[in-house]
Amino acid sequence: MSRRSAISWLPSALLAVATVAALIAVPRSQPVGEPVGATAHADHSVGAARVERIRTAPGPGQPPPGGKARPDARDVVLAVHGGAGAALDRETTTPAREKAYRDGLATALRAGQDVLDEGGSSVAAVAAAVRKLEDDPLFNAGKGAVFNADAGHELDASVMRGSDLAAGAVAGVRGLRNPVDGARLVMEKSKHVLLSGEGADDFGARHGLATVTQDYYWTQARWDALIRAKEAERGSKTAARSPEAAADEQSRGTVGAVAVDREGDVAAATSTGGMTNKLPGRIGDSPLIGAGTYAKNATAAVSATGAGEYFIRGAATSTVSALMEFKGLGVAAAAYEVVVERLPRLGGTGGVIALTRDGVFDAPHSSPGMLHGYLTEDGDVVTKIFPDESPANT
Confidence of residue 368 (pLDDT cuts 50, 70, 90): confident
Does residue 48 carry a pLDDT above 90?
A: no
pLDDT at 183: 98
pLDDT at 170: 98
Q: In this structure, are residues 304 and 292 in contact, taking their beta carbons and an 8 Å threshold?
A: yes
**Of 55 and 370, which is predicted with more confidence?**
370
DSSP 160: E
Q: Which of 295, 322, 318 is nearest to 166 (CA)?
A: 295
Any catalytic annotation for residue 93?
Answer: no
Q: In this structure, are residues 302 and 290 in contact, taking their beta carbons and an 8 Å threshold?
A: no
Convert the pLDDT of each residue in 129-160 to its tens digit: 999 999 999 999 999 999 999 999 999 999 99
Mean pLDDT, residues 267-285? 96
pLDDT at 52: 47
Which of 23-32, 57-66, 252-261, 304-313 has the weakest average pLDDT? 23-32
Helices 179-189 and 122-135: crossing angle, nearest 10°?
Answer: 150
Mean pLDDT, residues 172-188? 98
Confidence of residue 49 (pLDDT cuts 50, 70, 90): very low
Does residue 364 carry a pLDDT above 50?
A: yes
pLDDT at 1: 44
For the chain, give the mean pLDDT: 84
Confidence of residue 36 (pLDDT cuts 50, 70, 90): very low
Does residue 174 carry a pLDDT above 90?
A: yes
Strand partners of residue 258: 79, 268
Does residue 343 carry a pLDDT above 70?
A: yes
Cα atoms found within 13 Å of the Cα of residue 341, Cβ hemisphere only: 10
User: Which DSSP helix (H) or strand (E) runs through 85?
Assistant: strand 76-85
- Within 8 A by CB and 6+ apart from 49, the residues are none
- Within 8 A by CB and 6+ apart from 371, the residues are 81, 82, 83, 84, 87, 88, 101, 105, 251, 253, 384, 385
Share of the chain above pLDDT 90, in %: 70
Tell me how far CA of residue 230 lies from CA of 143, 147, 151, 203, 307, in angstroms. 22, 11, 11, 34, 20
Q: Which domains does the chain have, with CATH numbers?
A: 53-135+157-164+252-389 (3.60.20.30)
pLDDT at 232: 86
Does residue 119 carry a pLDDT above 70?
A: yes
Q: What's the maximum distance between 2 C-alpha atoms anywhere in the chain?
A: 69
Mean pLDDT, residues 227-240? 76
Q: In this structure, are residues 284 and 148 in contact, taking their beta carbons and an 8 Å threshold?
A: no
**Of 216 and 53, which is predicted with more confidence?**
216
pLDDT at 164: 98
pLDDT at 379: 95
Confidence of residue 55 (pLDDT cuts 50, 70, 90): low
Confidence of residue 250 (pLDDT cuts 50, 70, 90): very low
**In 68-82, which positions are buried (b, 16+ CB within 10 angstroms) versus exposed (e)?**
bbbbbbbbbbbbbbb
| DSSP string for 209-247 | --B--GGGG--HHHHHHHHHHHHHHTT-------HHHHH
Does residue 182 carry a pLDDT above 90?
A: yes
Active-site option among 93, 254, 305, 317: 254
Confidence of residue 89 (pLDDT cuts 50, 70, 90): confident
Mean pLDDT, residues 177-205? 98
Distance CA 16, CA 3 (A): 16
Strand partners of residue 161: 267
Tell me how far CA of residue 336 lies from CA of 229, 317, 394, in angstroms. 32, 12, 9
Q: Within 7-79, where are the H helices?
A: 12-25
pLDDT at 69: 64
Mean pLDDT comparison of 27-41, 74-88, 350-364, highest-scoring range: 350-364
Q: Within the chain, where are the H helices?
A: 3-6, 12-25, 95-117, 122-135, 179-189, 197-206, 220-233, 243-250, 308-313, 316-327, 331-336, 343-346
Name the 3-class secondary structure at 387: helix
Confidence of residue 234 (pLDDT cuts 50, 70, 90): confident
Tell me how far CA of residue 1 lies from CA of 8, 33, 161, 264, in angstroms. 11, 21, 21, 11
Judged by phi (left if over 0) then psi (alpha if -120 to 50, else beta), residue 392 lies in beta
Displacement of CA 215 from its chain's centroid (Å) = 26
Confidence of residue 44 (pLDDT cuts 50, 70, 90): very low
Does residue 15 carry a pLDDT above 70?
A: no
Judged by phi (left if over 0) then psi (alpha if -120 to 50, else beta), residue 209 lies in beta
Confidence of residue 40 (pLDDT cuts 50, 70, 90): very low
Distance CA 353, CA 109 (A): 14
